[in-house]
Amino acid sequence: MQSSLRSLRRLKVPLICRLAEDFNLYRDERNTHLVRTYGYYLTIPDTSVRKFFFEFIESMLIAVRAVWSNKMRAVLTTLGIIIGIVSVTGMATVVNGIEQGFENDISSLGTDVIYIEKWPWTRGPGFKWWEYINRPNITEDVAEVLNEHSRSIQAATAVVSTARSLKSQTESISSTRVMGVQSNYGDVQVVDLEDGYFLSPFDDQGARNVAVIGASIADELFPFGNPIGKEMKIGGNKFRVIAVMTRQGQGSEGSSSEDWAVQIPFNTFKKYYGTRYRDVSVRAKVLNGLAMADAKDEMRGVVRIARRLTVDQEDNFEINEQATLRASIEPIKNAIFGIGIGLTALALLVGGIGVMNIMFVTVKERTREIGVRKAVGARRITILMQFLVEAIVICMVGGLIGVGLAFPLSMLIAAVLPASLGMGTVVMAFSICVGIGTVFGLAPAWTAAKAPPIEALRYE
């Protein structure tokens, strides 16, 4: 033992080591203390925090023993905490899932892409639809004008879409989105191909019957073998598959819309379905380093000239961008979060009151023990810490059970939304448990701390 102590004295940092099986307290010439905790010894500097550390460890051990001796009571007490923790973790998972799904949905829009369209993307209360329905439709000519005259964009392309049925030799899809795109579509939007090649200028100018299909469509129509080069029917017209898009994954409404989309040449779309009465979307990619506001102002002037608007006339088109959708989803997300916080706070309030109630009962049951401890010199802060730590431990038990139940719940949510129970949510749950234990355990702990020792000793 002495040789072990001498080796400890040579160390300049606190150390944990197995030394012996007794509970003696040692002091050496470096003015440190060595205390045994379940067969292990901690060297603790002899400072003002030493006494606090000892009292905290003692309070923790007493709390664990008290909770362990009344396991069922502790679990029943924490039912409110369990419900609250499951609620807060579930709510956080849902909000994160909605946000992640929304990000997946709009990621294909591009942060540096501006959309010239007939309708605005956001239509809140009081939306005056009659002012927009009479606007002249956007045509592909706007994309040509922007490519020729705008100095703030890399490229502009026209996109039009409709819904049609798809059919292969063995499988069919009742309805899916069919997009007519120009050959420079890849210069504006990100095009990731798993196999094949994208639409060429020759395909567009010649209005060829070729198609690029999404990954989910490829799985549905061609479950066996490579779909490249095979034929399919789009609304009764034969097309040859020339490429398959890379799978985009899950969005807020299930699989990404890109996975269920078919892209055909713009002129082919025009030949079969027409564009005269359809809303064409013109998309323009802004030059790197150029502010979106400056690009929008310059493009607005070019489009106004192309649509022959005078100075006193209002715009008969809309300029949309990704930031518009982000701003529109923020109030919805905050509303869901606020409702979830309200319901969670109610459950945690009930759980906290339950913890406070059982702690008052515990203080009453152990009044004589409090008197004995005070009689042998225990300070008020020591008694206060003992029961406060016990309240926190009870809440932590509820937190452990709640987080354990939250994991399967997050798996169910993940089946609908791209969500997962992150470590930050778990840390938040346990932080709430500590807060609840501290707030609702303080009154019983203070009652125990200020109990007169003589009266406590007399209590039967």
Residue 413 forms beta bridges with which residues?
none
Question: 195 burial class (0-12, 13-18, 19+ CB within 10 angstroms)?
Answer: middle
The 10s digit of each residue's pLDDT in 288-307 is 888 888 888 999 999 998 88
Question: 16 burial class (0-12, 13-18, 19+ CB within 10 angstroms)?
Answer: exposed
pLDDT at 354 over 90: no
pLDDT of residue 255: 45
pLDDT at 268 over 90: yes
Q: 157 vs 24, 265, 284, CA distance in Å?
A: 82, 12, 6
pLDDT at 164 over 90: yes
Asked whether 246 and 192 are in contact (CB, 8 A), the reply is yes
Of 37, 38, 1, the C-alpha closest to 19 is: 1
Asked whether 177 and 262 are in contact (CB, 8 A), the reply is yes
- What is the percent of the chain with per-residue pLDDT over 90, rounded to a whole number? 23
Window from 16-30, 106-120, 380-394 with minimum mean pLDDT? 16-30
Of 174, 16, 48, 88, the C-alpha closest to 436 is: 88
Asked whether 74 and 397 are in contact (CB, 8 A), the reply is yes
Q: Which position has the token pair 């969500």?
A: 419
Of 321, 200, 171, the C-alpha closest to 263 is: 200
Q: CA 239 to CA 222: how far, in whole Å? A: 14
Window from 36-40, 93-97, 314-318 with minimum mean pLDDT? 36-40
pLDDT at 13 over 70: no
pLDDT of residue 232: 94
Q: 18 vs 205, 325, 386, CA distance in Å?
A: 82, 61, 27
Window from 178-187, 248-257, 290-299, 399-408 with minimum mean pLDDT? 248-257
pLDDT of residue 267: 94
The 10s digit of each residue's pLDDT in 33-88 is 444 444 444 444 545 566 667 777 777 787 788 778 777 877 787 788 888 888 88
The mean pLDDT of 226-235, rounded to a whole number, is: 92
pLDDT of residue 157: 93
Q: CA 369 to CA 371: how far, in whole Å? A: 5
pLDDT of residue 156: 93
The mean pLDDT of 251-264, rounded to a whole number, is: 71
